[in-house]
């Protein structure tokens, strides 16, 4: 018999084995569940490795304990391109210490079940596509030491419960969409060493409790919306090595004792905020400091000389502040210094004579846009590692150092806008000879200095990498060196406004990559050579104000990339060759003040991209070609002081964006085209000194036209206010003849109309029988053929869901192809919606009567008793909302400026150009559609309110969308054109910040308007869409500052639109004027800063 002791011994040895087997099975099932939630094609590496033929402890990324039960303690699958979701059953790995799924493509949410992993020490989910919020019950993982969920798409606020993780050493929640305030409870994480919250949309004050984190070594809150002052206690954490609060809205002053308790500080970043006051002297006590970034704040006063004690400092950024007085010489004695940026301040005085002697590691120095004076010390040439030397826009004087060639690593030299000269004992610019040794030189910018010398031919021996030579307004004499033709990488050559003479050298044929050539304002002679016309990369060619002669060569046709071309004020004496009109990319053409003559051919109409054309003060003759009407991007046209004759072509009506037209001092005859009065953008018109006759139109530009614009046309009449005679009335004989004719013609016309009406009635009756549809109701009359229901069925494939492109409570929109091949948008009315018939009739009437290039046009309608639809223009590029808020789309800066200007012009038309003002009531990005050229068209204006001419506002039910509705709209139901102005202001802000007014960060007391206003104007870049930085590199001078100013101007317009009181808001006419000016300037700046001049979708102005 088996004794009791034997049974107990048996149970003692078999029970743990059974238990271990059970827990093994649990871990095994959890791993299989994890695998089953991954998309199979992405886990080939797991499908072959995670096999039932192998114990799971040997699977890739799986680590087990050494104990007999072999429990899973680590799952590390970093960077395996895993796709799918994280299975909640992973929580069954109850002994898990490490879970690392970082750098994959996992989606879904962070499972709240992870809070059950009570033994977990490390959780790393960084670099995936996780969404949702951070689960609060992660706080149950009390042993957690590292929590890393950064670089995901997680939203919502930071759970206060995370403050319970007392063992946490690293918290990484950066690069996501977190909102709200930072919980004060995080100050309880007493063991925290690494704290990352950068690149979110967190807001409010930084909690003072953060100052209690005594073990903190790295603190990064960069790129949020924090406001208020920096908590002083943070600067008492002696363990801190890196502090980054850059790109926020922080204000106040830095603590005076900031550096006293930071012996380990290596990097301090507080740039791009609104911090004021002086730079604390105590910073000099942070002896380990490597990087000090104070850029783009409002610091005032001196740069403390004590900063010279920071002997490990490598990068010092002080630009865009209000620092003044002399720069302490001690700064130039920091031998470790590599980069010094102090641009855009009020620093003055002279630089030390030993500048460069104690800077052996200096690579970049930026001192432009200050008040420095005196000579540039030759000792700068001892800073042998220098790559960027930027000292423009100061008052430096004296000769440019002769030994610049010792800077063998130099890539960028910018000394423009100073008082620098050449060596007084030499007639040549000999300092250029030494630069031959700088073999990496790419930018040589010397413009606006009184150099007063001759370019040496050795300039052709400069670096083969040289891309830019800018030496405008430098009093340069002599001829253009032939050696310049050796610089085959040159893309920009600016020698305008000098005293150069002789011919343009044939050696220019070697400038294979030249894109911009500026030679305006010299004394150059001779013809335009065939060699110059062989530089096919040329986009801008300015040769004006010289003494060039001969003819325009036929080879000019080879410059197919030409965007700007000026020959103004030269001595050419020929016809324009027919081949010239093949330059179809031209946007700006200036042939004024030459002796060019002959007719302008119909081929002029090929220049469809041209925006500015000046043919004035030459000897052109003949008729103005009717093809002029093809130049629909033309903004300014000057053909004055020539010998043009014949009538003003009627096709001028097609120049829909024309703002300035000067045809004065010609021999034009005929009547003034009445079409000119309907050109709504036309602001300047001069028709003086011609042979025009007849009545002067009374509307549009003629309302404010002065006598000087019409004088010299003795046979015009009809404007008594200008002192011109009234036009003669019809004679009584004429009236009697007219009356007699009417007595005969009226009965004939009446009979004819009666027959037509009978025929139409019969046709209508016949159609009803054939189609089985009820009679057409009393919809507004359209200026087009009404389309049938069956045609729409065929066009949309029976209103297939595949063709559905939009839907709402009152209508659905389908894409369809009509019988003639036209692709259209078919808007089908929901007949069950309230007031459907009335709304349809009103919408049709408004859309038929409103005509503007930036409004969506109606093509046709289909209207029966039980079906109503409108056929509209189809916009292939969808809505502005899609382009702003989809990760697959990007609008560059110029495109955004073009779009908002288009919208402004459409709204100006609705408010100010229609017979009675039309209020849109629901202006927002989803109601702005983009055609194939990215031109904006305002949609859904047909459901708006029409105001009587004597009404400023009317009452209505709420039509608008939350976030875009003006404050007074919600209070009393009143709408007016000023409510649209408010909506447009919100649309402007959304377009350039890429933030919706309903985003989570604006759900409290903070609105989009208030958020932007907080940073305007000094720190406007803080609120801009970060993707715009690729269009506008703020680290470079050129045109980026100008583009930034354009953005400041746009935000200013938006804030004018968003005034609380409707009466204080700007009107859309003034908005249109300001945005058109900004658009014109921005296109110019973009071409200056971008060698490609514009992107394919950029419209002409």
Radius of gyration of the chain (CA): 37
Q: 893-908 vs 1068-1089: helix axis angle to the nearest 10? A: 160
Strand-strand pairing, 867-873 and 823-829: antiparallel
C-alpha 101/C-alpha 110 separation (Å) is 12
Which residues line the annotated binding site? 827
> At CB < 8 A and 24+ separation, what contacts does 548-554 make?
548/524, 548/572, 549/525, 549/573, 550/526, 550/574, 551/527, 551/575, 551/577, 552/528, 552/576, 552/577, 552/580, 552/596, 553/527, 553/528, 553/529, 553/577, 554/579
Catalytic position from the list 898, 922, 940, 980? 922
pLDDT at 126: 97
C-beta separation of 462 from 444 below 8 A: yes
DSSP 615: -
E strand residue ranges, 945-1076: 945-946, 953-955, 974-976
C-beta separation of 165 from 144 below 8 A: yes
Please identify which residue in the block is written with the tokens 């703002």.
659
C-alpha 705/C-alpha 716 separation (Å) is 14
Q: Which residues contact 773 (CB under 8 A, 6 or more apart)?
A: 767, 789, 864, 865, 867
- Delimit the CATH 3.80.10.10 region(s) of the chain: 596-726
pLDDT by 10-residue block (mean), the chain, 1101 residues: 51 44 79 89 73 91 91 95 94 97 96 97 97 97 97 96 97 96 97 97 96 97 96 95 96 93 96 96 96 96 96 97 94 96 95 91 96 94 96 94 94 96 90 94 96 94 96 95 95 96 94 95 93 94 94 92 95 91 95 92 95 94 94 95 94 93 94 91 92 90 85 84 74 46 56 55 44 33 64 86 80 88 88 68 76 89 82 92 85 93 93 86 92 91 54 49 81 72 95 88 80 81 75 50 82 93 92 90 70 38 33
Domain 789-873 - what CATH class? alpha beta
Burial string for 810-835 (b: 16+ CB within 10 Å, else e) reads bbbbbbbebeeeeebbbbbbeeeeee
Burial string for 79-116 (b: 16+ CB within 10 Å, else e) reads ebebbbebbbbbbbbbbbbbbbbbbbebbeebbbbbbb
DSSP 517: E
Taking CA atoms, 108 is separated from 91, 197, 281, in Å, by: 16, 22, 50
Does residue 863 sit in helix, strand or coil?
Answer: strand
C-alpha 241/C-alpha 907 separation (Å) is 54
DSSP per position, 20-36: HHHHHHHHHHHHHHHHH
Q: Which residues contact 272 (CB under 8 A, 6 or more apart)?
A: 246, 247, 248, 295, 296, 297, 1019, 1021, 1022
Query: How big, in percent rounded to 5, are the helix, strand and coil portions of the chain?
Result: 30, 20, 50
Which two tokens mark 210?
A: 């953060």
pLDDT at 945: 56
Does residue 485 sit in helix, strand or coil?
Answer: helix
| 623 tagged catalytic | no
Q: Which residues contact 524 (CB under 8 A, 6 or more apart)?
A: 480, 500, 501, 502, 503, 504, 543, 546, 547, 548
- Delimit the CATH 3.30.200.20 region(s) of the chain: 789-873
Please identify which residue in the block is written with the tokens 């300035």.
660
C-alpha 814/C-alpha 880 separation (Å) is 18
| Closest alpha carbon to 134 in 125, 145, 142, 143 | 125
The β-bridge partners of 300 are 322
C-alpha 458/C-alpha 476 separation (Å) is 15
C-alpha 285/C-alpha 356 separation (Å) is 25
- Delimit the CATH 1.10.510.10 region(s) of the chain: 880-1089
pLDDT at 787: 84
Which CATH fold would you assign to the domain 880-1089?
Transferase(Phosphotransferase); domain 1 (1.10.510)
C-alpha 136/C-alpha 1055 separation (Å) is 39
Structure confidence by residue, pLDDT tens digits, 790-819: 888 889 888 888 888 887 767 889 999 988
CATH placement of domain 596-726: 3.80.10.10
Q: Where are the alpha helices (DSSP H) in 378-537?
A: 431-434
C-alpha 312/C-alpha 287 separation (Å) is 7
| Closest alpha carbon to 143 in 183, 178, 99, 109 | 99
Rounded (10°) CA dihedral 995, 997, 1003, 1008:
80
Burial string for 507-530 (b: 16+ CB within 10 Å, else e) reads bbebbeebbbbbbbbbebbeebbe
pLDDT at 767: 45
C-alpha 953/C-alpha 947 separation (Å) is 7
The number of residues making up the chain comes to 1101
DSSP per position, 253-267: B--TTTTTT-TT--E
Q: What angle do CA 792, 797, 800 make, to 5 degrees?
A: 105
Taking CA atoms, 1017 is separated from 138, 368, 941, 1058, in Å, by: 42, 22, 33, 16
Which residues line the annotated binding site for ATP? 827
Taking CA atoms, 513 is separated from 485, 556, 666, 950, in Å, by: 11, 17, 42, 62
| Closest alpha carbon to 608 in 630, 589, 635 | 630
Question: Which helix (DSSP H) or strand (DSSP E) does residue 1056 occupy?
Answer: helix 1040-1057
Q: Which residues contact 170 (CB under 8 A, 6 or more apart)?
A: 145, 146, 147, 148, 192, 193, 194
């Amino acid at each position: 018999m088996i004794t009791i002791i034997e049974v107990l011994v048996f149970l003692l040895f078999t029970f743990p084995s059974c238990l271990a087997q059970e827990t093994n099975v649990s871990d095994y099932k959890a791993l299989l569940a994890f695998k089953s939630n991954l998309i199979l094609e992405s886990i080939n590496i797991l499908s072959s490795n995670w096999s039932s033929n192998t114990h799971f402890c040997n699977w890739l990324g799986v680590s087990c304990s050494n104990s007999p039960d072999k429990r899973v303690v680590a799952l590390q699958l970093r960077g395996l391109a895993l796709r799918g979701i994280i299975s909640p059953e992973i929580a069954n790995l109850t002994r898990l210490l490490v879970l690392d799924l970082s750098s994959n493509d996992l989606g879904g949410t962070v499972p709240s079940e992870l809070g059950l992993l009570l033994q977990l020490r490390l959780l790393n989910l960084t670099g995936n596509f996780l969404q949702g919020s951070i689960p609060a019950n992660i706080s149950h993982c009390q042993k957690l030491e590292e929590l890393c969920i950064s670089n995901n798409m997680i939203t919502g606020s930071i759970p206060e419960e995370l403050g319970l993780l007392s063992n946490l050493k690293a918290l990484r929640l950066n690069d996501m969409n977190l909102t709200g305030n930072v919980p004060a409870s995080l100050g309880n994480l007493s063991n925290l060493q690494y704290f990352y919250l950068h690149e979110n949309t967190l807001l409010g004050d930084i909690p003072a409790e953060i100052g209690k984190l005594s073990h903190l070594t790295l603190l990064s809150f960069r790129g949020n919306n924090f406001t208020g002052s920096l908590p002083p206690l943070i600067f008492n954490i002696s363990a801190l090595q890196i502090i980054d609060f850059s790109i926020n809205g922080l204000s106040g002053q830095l603590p005076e004792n900031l550096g006293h308790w930071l012996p380990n500080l290596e990097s301090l970043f507080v740039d791009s905020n609104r911090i004021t006051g002086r730079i604390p002297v105590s910073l000099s006590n942070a002896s380990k400091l490597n990087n000090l970034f104070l850029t783009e704040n409002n610091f005032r006063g001196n740069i403390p000389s004590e900063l010279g004690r920071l002997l490990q400092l490598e990068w010092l950024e002080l630009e865009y502040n209000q620092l003044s007085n002399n720069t302490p010489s001690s700064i130039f004695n920091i031998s470790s210094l590599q980069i010094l940026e102090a641009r855009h301040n009020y620093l003055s005085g002279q630089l030390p004579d030993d500048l460069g002697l104690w800077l052996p590691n200096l690579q970049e120095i930026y001192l432009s846009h200050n008040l420095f004076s005196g000579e540039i010390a030759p000792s700068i040439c001892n800073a042998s590692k220098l790559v960027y030397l930027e000292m423009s826009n100061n008052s430096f004087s004296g000769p440019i150092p002769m030994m610049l060639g010792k800077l063998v690593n130099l890539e960028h030299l910018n000394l423009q806008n100073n008082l620098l000269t050449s060596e007084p004992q030499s007639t040549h610019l000999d300092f250029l000879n030494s630069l031959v040794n700088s073999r990496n030189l790419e930018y040589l910018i010397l413009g606006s200095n009184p150099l007063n010398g001759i370019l040496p031919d050795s300039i052709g021996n400069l670096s083969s990498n040289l891309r830019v030579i800018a030496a405008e307004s430098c009093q340069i004499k002599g001829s253009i060196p032939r050696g310049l033709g050796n610089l085959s990488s040159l893309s920009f050559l600016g020698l305008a406004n000098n005293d150069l003479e002789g011919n343009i050298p044939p050696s220019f044929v070697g400038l294979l990559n030249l894109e911009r050539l500026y030679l305006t304002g010299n004394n150059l002679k001779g013809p335009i050579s065939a060699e110059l016309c062989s530089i096919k990369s040329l986009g801008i060619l300015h040769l004006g104000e010289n003494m060039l002669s001969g003819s325009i060569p036929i080879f000019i046709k080879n410059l197919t990339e030409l965007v700007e071309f000026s020959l103004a004020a030269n001595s050419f004496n020929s016809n324009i060759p027919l081949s010239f009109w093949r330059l179809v990319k031209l946007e700006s053409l200036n042939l004024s003040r030459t002796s060019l003559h002959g007719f302008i051919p119909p081929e002029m109409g090929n220049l469809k991209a041209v925006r500015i054309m000046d043919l004035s003060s030459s000897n052109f003759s003949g008729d103005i070609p009717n093809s002029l009407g093809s130049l629909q991007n033309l903004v300014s046209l000057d053909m004055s002081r020539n010998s043009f004759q014949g009538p003003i072509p009627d096709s001028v009506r097609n120049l829909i964006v024309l703002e300035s037209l000067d045809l004065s001092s010609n021999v034009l005859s005929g009547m003034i085209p009445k079409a000119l009065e309907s050109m709504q953008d036309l602001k300047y018109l001069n028709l003086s000194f011609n042979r025009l006759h007849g009545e002067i139109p009374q509307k549009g530009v003629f309302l404010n036209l002065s006598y000087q614009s019409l004088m010299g046309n003795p046979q015009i009449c009809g404007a008594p206010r200008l002192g011109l005679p009234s036009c003669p009335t019809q004679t009584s004989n004429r009236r009697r003849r007219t009356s007699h004719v009417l007595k005969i013609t009226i009965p004939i016309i009446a009979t004819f109309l009666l027959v037509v009406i009978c025929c139409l009635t019969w046709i209508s009756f016949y159609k009803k029988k054939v189609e089985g549809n009820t009679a057409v109701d009393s919809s507004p009359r359209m200026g087009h053929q009404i389309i049938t229901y069956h045609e729409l069925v065929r066009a949309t494939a029976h209103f297939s869901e595949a063709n559905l492109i939009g839907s709402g409570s009152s209508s659905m929109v389908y894409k369809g192809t009509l019988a003639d091949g036209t692709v259209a948008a078919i808007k089908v009315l929901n007949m069950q919606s309230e007031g459907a018939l009335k709304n349809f009739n009103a919408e049709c009437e408004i859309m038929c009567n409103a005509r503007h290039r930036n409004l969506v046009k109606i093509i046709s309608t289909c209207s029966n008793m039980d079906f109503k639809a409108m056929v509209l223009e189809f916009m292939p590029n969808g809505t502005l909302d899609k382009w702003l808020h989809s990760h697959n789309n990007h609008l560059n800066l110029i495109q955004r400026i073009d779009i908002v200007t288009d919208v402004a012009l459409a709204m100006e038309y609705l408010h100010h150009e229609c017979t009675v003002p039309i209020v849109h009531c629901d202006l927002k990005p989803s109601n702005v559609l983009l055609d194939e050229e990215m031109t904006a068209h305002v949609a859904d204006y047909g459901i708006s309110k029409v105001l009587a001419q004597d009404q400023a506002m009317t009452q209505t039910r709420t039509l608008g969308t939350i976030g875009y509705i003006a404050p007074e709209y919600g209070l009393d139901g009143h709408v007016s054109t000023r409510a649209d102005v408010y909506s447009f202001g919100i649309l402007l802000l959304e377009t350039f910040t890429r933030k919706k007014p309903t985003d989570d960060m604006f759900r409290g007391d903070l609105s989009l308007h208030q958020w932007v206003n907080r940073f305007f104007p000094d720190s406007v870049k803080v609120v801009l869409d970060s993707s715009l930085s690729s269009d506008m590199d703020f680290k470079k001078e050129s045109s980026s500052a100008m583009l930034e100013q354009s953005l400041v101007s746009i935000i200013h317009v938006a804030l004018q639109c968003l005034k609380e009181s409707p009466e204080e808001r700007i009107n859309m006419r003034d908005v249109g004027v300001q945005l058109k000016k900004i658009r014109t300037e921005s296109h110019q700046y973009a071409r200056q800063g971008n060698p490609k001049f514009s992107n394919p979708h950029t419209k002409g102005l």
